[in-house]
Amino acid sequence: MTVYTPHDYQTAATRHILTHPQAAIFLDMGLGKTVITLTALTHLIATKQTQRALIIAPLRVANTTWPSEIAKWDHTQHLTYTLATGSPTQRLQALTADSQLVIINRENIPWLIDHYAQTGRHWPFDTVIIDELSSFKNHASKRVRALLRARPYITRIIGLTGTPSPNGMMDLFAQYRILDQGQRLGKHISHYRAKYFTAHRYGNMTFTRYELKPDAEQQIYEAISDMTISMRAADHLHLPALTTTSQPVYLTDKQTRLYNELKKNLIATIEGEIIDAANAAVLAGKLTQLASGALYLDNPSRPSREYLETHSAKLAALEDLIEAANGHPVLVAYWFQHDLDRISRRFHARTITTAKDIEEWNAGRIPLGLIHPASAGHGLNLQAGGHILIWFSLPWSLELYQQTNARLYRQGQTQPVTITHLVAAGTIDEQILAALKRKDLTQSALIDAVKTHL
């Protein structure tokens, strides 16, 4: 048990939750959004403003982070909770148990809403907390549509995220549609687009790009500012230095010619294998693989997920960086399964997936750890085990990118952190990194616009 002595920013965030029945909380990773919310829940339950609360979170976070935080603090350990993350039978038992909190993973939200609709039972949750609110950014997703059906029966709702607009301002619509039922940004995505964006259509109107109208960004900020607060870790925590750099990787002339042939013609022959990209999206994926050093084969006569190695330039660069680490543990983020296969064959490495892996990493017993952004993006505290992160291959998702970086660069890190990107020169790697930087500028402007000043 730990005695909770909140920082000023934590007290301010808790106060915002208590005074706003609809609250959007944008907190950088490491600022303690879980304990902030639990502190508010403790008060709401004690004062009978909340009878029963539903906490929606990513699966790993639901199963580990929320229960461990409840048990950790002196003022929250009395809270009772059940987990609705297992089988249908286990979920039903969690719902019928006498608990103040029910913690559920976001994938089970459609099931939960259907359960109450089909049985005709009263919706029991007057308070709902959505951890990682940005995972509800797709207005057409099943989880968003399902939660909107229950929204009229929810009295108090809290959305938590550190990445509110990972792909731009369009991401905000569905999140605020859930929080305020369309009061601020509207109830229909078509109206939101028409009011704030200009549509640019390409390819016989099969593809549309939306560009913010003049002054629209500021209008959106003003519309959401009353219910929203944001805080940056750099403003409130004393974190060590962060160095972000790129390590260029150079392909041979032959490899470059093959890359450019595929890019130009959407088809190329590599070591006797015909590589065919049906459209621009497929081409982008294949070019990213090619830059990384391997390509999945599309030949139906081949075994599923068989791939062709095209170069080892990134593996050689990774070996140099591991050697330069001089014995310090190194964490490597990869995107493709063939990245994992090839790294594991060349180096003695261990994937970080289970609680035991995390424990071993943080104890310093894993010299080379491997993580995938989609499975390690949320809820993992890896800062005790190392301070060096290398991106072998990059995702297009700013959210996954930032969340993965935050596994090391967060509260509790005691050493300067170095993040290095392996970038194949003259390839799509450069475009992905540039796109991440552009998205970060858009999101940073939003966060600054609603930043809380203590």
SS3 assignment for 206-268: CEEEEEECCCHHHHHHHHHHHHEEEECHHHHCCCCCEEEEEEEECCCHHHHHHHHHHHHHCEE
Residue 214 belongs to some domain of the structure: yes
Q: Is residue 215 part of a domain?
A: yes
Domain co-membership, 230 together with 290: no
Same domain, 18 and 101: yes
* Shared domain check, 266 and 150: no
Give me 221's structure tokens: 């900020």
* Residue 223: inside a domain: yes
pLDDT of 182 strictly over 90: yes
What is the predicted pLDDT for the residue at 38? 98
- Which strands sit side by side in the sheet containing 368-371, from one edge to the other? 242-249, 417-424, 388-391, 330-333, 368-371, 350-351
Same domain, 171 and 312: no
Q: Beta 273-276 vs 267-270: how paired, if at all?
A: antiparallel
Q: How far is CA 203 from each of CA 170, 282, 376, rounded to the nearest angstrom?
A: 21, 16, 37
Q: For the ranges 156-160, 259-263, 314-318, which has the lowest average pLDDT?
A: 259-263
Find the CATH number of the domain harbouring 386: 3.40.50.300
* 199 and 266, same domain (yes or no): no
d(CA 175, CA 127): 16
Per-residue pLDDT tens digits for 25-36: 999 877 889 999
Domain boundary among 189, 214, 237: 237
Same domain (yes/no): 122, 269: no
Q: Does 450 fall in a domain? A: no
Query: Which region among 160-169, 172-181, 184-193 has the lowest average model confidence (pLDDT)?
Result: 160-169
* Mean pLDDT of all residues in 305-331: 92
Residues 102 and 199 in one domain: yes
Same domain for 201 and 142? Answer: yes
User: Among 172, 154, 203, which Cα is nearest to 21's?
Assistant: 154
pLDDT interval class at 269 (50, 70, 90)? low
Number of domains in the chain: 2
- Spatial distance between the Cα atoms of 67 and 79, rounded to a whole number of angstroms: 10
Task: Report whether pLDDT(345) > 90.
Answer: yes
Domain membership of residue 452 (yes or no) is no
Using DSSP's 3-state secondary structure scheme, residue 202 falls into strand
- What average pLDDT does range 218-242 have in this prediction? 91
258: confidence class by pLDDT, cuts 50, 70, 90: confident
Q: Which domain, by its residues, includes 263?
A: 242-445
Nearest to 114 by CA among 95, 139, 131: 95
- Residue 219: pLDDT over 80: yes
Of the candidates 209, 237, 265, which is a domain's last residue?
A: 237
Lowest mean pLDDT, pick from 179-183, 258-262, 343-347, 349-353: 258-262
pTM of the complete model beyond 0.85? no
Whether 131 and 253 map to the same domain: the answer is: no
State pLDDT tens for residues 411-432: 788 899 999 999 999 999 999 9
Residue 3 within any structural domain of the chain = no
The last residue of one of the domains, among 202, 237, 272, is 237
Q: Are residues 134 and 45 in the same domain?
A: yes
The reply to whether 2 falls in a domain is no
- Let me know: does 351 contact 371? Beta carbons within 8 Å: yes
Q: What is the pLDDT of residues 359-416, one digit of tens each?
A: 999 999 999 999 999 886 555 789 999 999 999 999 998 889 998 998 898 878 889 9
| 117 belongs to a structural domain | yes
Whether residues 13 and 79 share a domain: the answer is yes
Q: What is the CATH number of the domain that holds 106?
A: 3.40.50.10810
pLDDT at 113 over 60: yes
Specify whether 385 is located in the same domain as 419.
yes
60 pLDDT tier (thresholds 50, 70, 90): confident
pLDDT confidence tier of residue 266, bands split at 50, 70 and 90: confident
Q: Mean pLDDT of all residues in the chain?
A: 90
